[in-house]
Structure formats: structure tokens, C-alpha cells
Structure 1
């Protein structure tokens, strides 16, 4: 197992959950930052219509992120259980299956997304005034979605091994890359809104490559070798059993946001830009809950594999209470400073 990994079946569960959750929180924070970077740069440099174009598909992108993060989380549960049970062959089969399924999902998302982008935006009631820019942005995002899917796949394997520091470093690096390319493409070169999506695609692909590089160097059954990918049916069934409910659960809020977005689109570009700014702020507010959920998922899976039920109950109780307290503090802060936070994305009063 890697030096950055945390074995969660022994020692103080409180310190282990916190140590694992903090890098996850910081990583999610940077992920939200580079998601927000597109809106910040586009809204302040190009203008409200461009921000509306980015925002018009924001809820759909968040739905996809929630879905694939949930699927990856479920896949990580399967791998973590195998690690906790110390059955190396099962771990190898689970890793090979998860990576193979990740590539298949990535290819399907590219094909479906690129072909159906205009129809999706029309179905969502995107205003005609921003339709060309919206199609350009979403199509570029779909075209590069393999990087996003594989990044989530790779970090699910790292997190299943108890490594939350690696994903943090990769997200910091990708955030810097995304912001740098946003500034180069939009601020310096004055290119179109599609290049903002391209900046995100480059950053996501870069972080996926970093995560893969770490996994291919691992010693032990969790090592990823692209030459030996194979779908093992028992592991595929387990991955679906855990991943699909997790993915659907993660997507439920986003599904309602897509429906709401469709109605808001009827009010024009300024309304779309406004809801887009709100969505970015909302993403930050959910960070503590998301981070502790991921930490507890790995904690429960490893201890379930080791048969330590009492330890699971104690750890879950502690993690939930701590997450709720932190979420309340952040919620009050967002409520207090809401006008200033929204103005960061677009200073236009309307």
C-alpha cells in the first residue's frame, strides 16, 4: 500500500476520518474553484451573455458530475472492501473492471453528448440569444469528458486505498492549469466561450494523467495496468449494485436543478446568468457534506471488509455530527454575504 494511504481498520477512528476528510475537503474546494473560474473569467471579461451561455448547461454538467462521482464512489466501495478483506485477487479484478468500465462510459458520454448537445439545450429551453455560445461550450465539454470520467475513476481507487492526499495535489495542479488557460484564452487572446470549456477539459485530462501515473507505480493489487484491463462479471455486478444507487442519489438534487433551470431559461439571458452564479456558490456550501460522505464511505467499506461493525457505527455517528456542524457554519456565512458572492461572477446590477 502507498505511503500516503490511511489504514482505517485500526487506531483512532476520529483522527483517521478527519485526516482523510481534510484533503478531500481541500480537493473538492479546488475542484469548485476551477469550476467557478470559467464563470468568473467569462462573466467579467466577455459579459453577461457569455456567462449565461456557460450557466445554461451548468445544472446539466453538475448532474453529470454528481452521477459519475457517485458511480466512482460505489466502485471505490467494492475495491475498499476487497482491500479490507485482504483478498488480493479480488482487488486486482475489481480495479481492472472499474477502469475498463470507466473507459467505456467515457466513450459513450463523448458520442452521446457531442451528437445531442443542440437537442439537449433546446429541451432545456435555452434562450435563442445565447444558443450558439451554449452549444459551443457544452459540445467542447462533452468532447473532453473522458478526462473527467477517468479522473473520478482513478481517484476512487486511490481513495479506496486510504489515499486522499494524492487527489488533493492533483486538483490543486489542475486548478492552476485551468485558471491559467482561462486567462490565456479569454483575457489575453479574447477567444470565444468554447475555449473556456477547453481550459476545463485540459485541466481535467491533466489531473487524470497525474492520478494514473500514481496508480501505475503502486506496488500491490491496486496497481493499474492498462494492458490488462478486463471486465469480471462478479465485480461488475458489485460495482453496479453499489455505484448505480450512489450515482442516482448524487444526481437527485441536480435533476431538480435541471428542471428548475429549464423554467428559469424562459426569463432570458440575465436570469440564466444569475442562476449560474448562484449554482457556483451553492457548490461551495455543499463541500463539507460531500467530503465527509467520501471519507465515511471509505471508512465503512474498509471496516466492513474487516468485519468491524461496532467501529463502523461509532465512526459514522462522529462523521455525520461533525459534517452537519461545519455545514451550518458555511450556510450562515453564505446567507450573510450572498450579494457580495454573486457580484464576484458578474458585477452587472441586472
Structure 2
């Protein structure tokens, strides 16, 4: 287990983030390849179906994302406080949540798919394709949530490399199976869903075996009272995170409802941009994930000033990297759009979308790194409020009310307005942490002076 309470903070954060970035890179490469395969072999109607069904799966996945992060934070706090004996109870609680949620989602998808798609305005052949995609994907829910649980467990223990290999193995298998099922066998979007279900199941098995060998559980039988306490704590800590993702999922459905009125070309462009945005955001999301564990371990150990120093250095790295990514995407927006489709209209809308949002990408990347610190500090309510203010109160009304005079550009500029609002609120929450200290900084990259303080 990696101890992030000692050693150079920046090296610890970057060292933790790099494997997460590689794992996310494999995942996003799979998503990009999947989009390209579907776009080339099925067409823009297939891309539209995958994009329209995405928010529904995100809605089902939202609660588990929050709970998984809560267990990661809990494990990191235990690691920082040197309380390994309680890890056994946390593992039992995590396994219980994973099994119950996977089985529940398999049941719910048969009930929710039709009504939710109808609320989004998805009807006819597109609705049938969406329902088919999510129905086939639901078979793999145990593997999808199980592999995510293993990754959350390994990250909480500070081993992002093992988490990387678990995710990477599933993504590589996913790419191969997507090419085989969709391109080779011609199974359409159902084949893409089948590839994901199969690959994540394999990744879950590999992850469970690896985690058991790397980190044998402390001896003894788990206490029912202790497990119940861990479930309660994870629910309390994870509920704001889960609610945040649920709000995002519901909001994305509203955006799909707005975009769907413009036809399949714009819906396909929306799907492509979401893939590109997710791909370019992955190093910053990894830095945010690293910041969760770094802040949780150090604040759990009482090293408040060290946690602050690591955050400030991570923000500097974030800004520099964001500028580079933004320049590349803006300059190469035409060939990037051409990777996904031969349809000229879809390329044009995709390029326009990229030119509007990517010059402002730093607003988003800085915000997500700050959210990582807040989550690691167990202040999970602050990112939830940020989502409500920026996404619900700004982005959605902006996209809807200005839809008439600005057309589809209203949806694009609404993203920029949301990022600006979200970053402003987040900085307000952390103004004391980000403000310069009057006394000289005790930490240096090569030496750590620990200042005990409560989180």
C-alpha cells in the first residue's frame, strides 16, 4: 500500500495519477474505437442510439459511482491513520453494496428503459435501438460494477498501478471484442454492448484475484455491527457524490431532449464531442482522483499544510497541461471530427462545438482537481452544491431559453457558462486553502514537515 503522507507531494500525486491516466486512456481509447466502429459499420443512426442511451446507463451507474468513491475515501483515511484492521469490514460492506446494486440495476433497466427514453423524446426506431443496447449491456452489470468496486478498493489503498492493470485488461479485451462483434459478425450496437459486458466481467475476475493476492485481509470474522457502520458511513459520505452524478445524468437527458429536436446529425455530433471531451479530460480526472487519496491520507494523518501544498502544485500542473491540450484540439478540430464519420454535416457541427468549448477547458480542469481535494477532505456536499448551481441553475436554463435565438450554439455556450460558474463557486469554497499563508511554507518537494490539524 502506497503511503502518500511522506515524500515529495508532487511526485506522490503525479505518480499516483499516471497509472490512473493510463487506465483511463485505455478506457477512452475503447470508447473512441467503439464510436468509430459503430459510426463506420452501423452509421450515424447507430452513433445517435449509443449517445442517446448513454445518459440512461449513467443514471443507473450514478449511485454506485458515489458509493465507490466514498469507500475509496474511507480506505485512504484508514491508511493515513494506520488502522488496517478495519479494512476487513470495509471490504465486506463494499462487496455487499456491489452485489445488491448490480442485481437491482439488472431488474430496474427492464422497467426504466422505455419510460426514460420517452421522457427524453426518443421514439421510433431510435428508441428501439437504445432499448436493445441498454438491455444487452445490463447482462454485464455485475462485471461493470464489480470491476469498478475493485478499482475503488485498490485506489483507496494507494495502489493505482494495480487498478490500472485491472481496467486496462478489460478495455483491451473490449476493443478486440467490439471489432469482432460489430465489424466482423455485424451484430450492430448490440454487439458493442455485448463486448462491454464480456470484457468487464473478465476484468472483475482478474481484479478480485489480484487484490486478494496483493492485500490479504486481516484475520478474523467481520463484525455485523462494524459492517453496518461502514455501510452507514459510506452512504452518508457517498450520498452527496451519488446525488451529484444523478443530477448530471438527469441534466444530460434534458440536453439530449433539446438536441434531439435538431435531428440525428446533431445528435451524432453531440456523441462525438462527448467522446472527445471525455478523452481529453482523463489526465485531469486522474489528477482529481489522485488528489482524493492524497488529501484523504494526509488530512487523516493530520498533515494539513502538506495537503494544501500538494493541491497548489497540482493546480499549476493542471493549468499548464490544459493549455497544451486546448491548443492541439483547436488547431486539429477538422481532422479530429473526420475520424468519426464521413458525413460532412456532422463534421461541421462537431468542429463548431470543439472551437467554442475548448478555449475555456481550463475552467473545467481546475474545478475537477479542486473537487478532488474537497472529496478527500470529506466535504462531499460542496461539489454537489456546485453541480446544482452550475449545471441545473445555469447550463440547462441557458441551453433551453437561448435555444431559439442562438440555435444549437446555445447548448455549446451553455457549457462555458456552466464551467465559469462552477469554478467560481468552488474557489469560494476553498478560498482559505488557496489563499497564500503569512508564514513561510513548511513543506518542500524534498522534505515534509507535518503540521497536525483536524481536517
Normalised TM-score (structure 2): 0.71
Greater gyration radius? 2
**Does the C-alpha gap of structure 1 residues 236 and 205 become closer, same or farther in structure 2, counting only changes over 3 Å?**
same
Pick one of 267, 276, 285 that aligns with 1:281.
276
Alignment match, 1:42: 38
1:249 match: 244
> Any idea what the Cα deviations from partners look like across 1:64-110, whole Å, max 9, x if unmatched?
55653333122110111112212233222112112211211111111
Identify the match of residue 116 of structure 1 among 100, 112, 115: 112
Q: Give CA-to-partner distance per residue, 1:174-221, whole Å, 9 cap, x none.
A: 222111111111111112321111101111222111111112223444
8 Å CA contact retained: 1:151, 1:207: yes
Distance 1:135 1:107, change over 3 A: same
C-alpha RMSD of the superposition: 2.3
Corresponding residue for 1:298? 293
Q: Distance in 2 between matches of 1:259 and 1:39?
A: 22
Deviation at 1:165, TM superposition (A): 0.8
Does 1:157 pair with 2:153?
yes
Gaps of 5+ in 1: none
Distance 1:296 1:191 in 2: 41
227-236 or 10-19: bigger deviation: 227-236
Distance 1:57 1:222 in 2: 42
TM-score w.r.t. structure 1 length?
Answer: 0.91
Distance 2:27 2:59 in 1: 15
Distance 2:115 2:223 in 1: 35
Q: Which moved more, 1:13-22 or 1:229-238?
A: 229-238
Unpaired runs of 5+ residues, structure 2, are 346-455
The equivalent of 2:25 in structure 1 is 29
**SS state at 1:232 partner:** helix
**Conserved? CA contact 1:71–1:244, under 8 Å:** yes
Give the 3-state SS of the residue equivalent to 1:307 in structure 2.
coil
**How far apart, in 2, do the equivalents of 1:167 and 1:322 lie?**
23
By how many angstroms is 1:257 displaced? 2.3
Distance 1:48 1:228 in 2: 52
Per the TM alignment, residue 329 of structure 1 is displaced from its structure 2 partner at its CA by: 2.3
* Matched position secondary structure for 1:107: helix
Looking at structure 1, the residues matched to 324 and 63 of structure 2 have their Cα atoms a distance apart, in angstroms, of: 27
1:37-61 CA deviation, whole Å, 9 max, x = no partner?
Answer: 3211111112111121111112333
Confirm or deny that 1:345 pairs with 2:340. Answer: yes
- Aligned match of 1:9: 5
Judged with a 3 Å threshold, the aligned counterparts in structure 2 of structure 1 residues 68 and 286 are, in CA distance, closer, same or farther, namely farther
Alpha-carbon distance in structure 1 between the residues aligned to 2:260 and 2:203: 33
Which sits farther off after the overlay, 234-243 or 248-257? Answer: 248-257
Distance (Å, rounded) in 1 between the aligned partners of 2:330 and 2:81: 45
Alignment equivalent of 2:267, drawn from 269, 272, 297: 272
Tell whether the 8 Å contact from 1:38 to 1:197 is kept in structure 2 after alignment: no
Deviates more, 1:167-176 or 1:185-194: 167-176
Decide whether the 8 Å contact of 2:3 with 2:79 is kept in 1: no
The correspondence of residues 1-350 of structure 1 with structure 2, limited to 5 A, is 5-65=1-61, 67-221=63-217, 232-250=227-245, 252-350=247-345
**3-state SS of 2:284 partner:** helix
Q: SS of 1:286's equivalent?
A: helix
Secondary structure of 1:186's aligned partner: helix
**Distance in 2 separating the partners of 1:115 and 1:253:** 21
Change (3 A) 1:115 1:210: same
| Structure ranking higher on relative contact order (CA contacts 8 Å, 6+ apart) | 1
Deviation of the 1:35 alpha carbon: 2.2
Partners of 1:149 and 1:113 lie apart in 2 by 15
Distance 2:285 2:223 in 1: 30
* Separation of aligned partners in 2, 1:118 and 1:229: 42
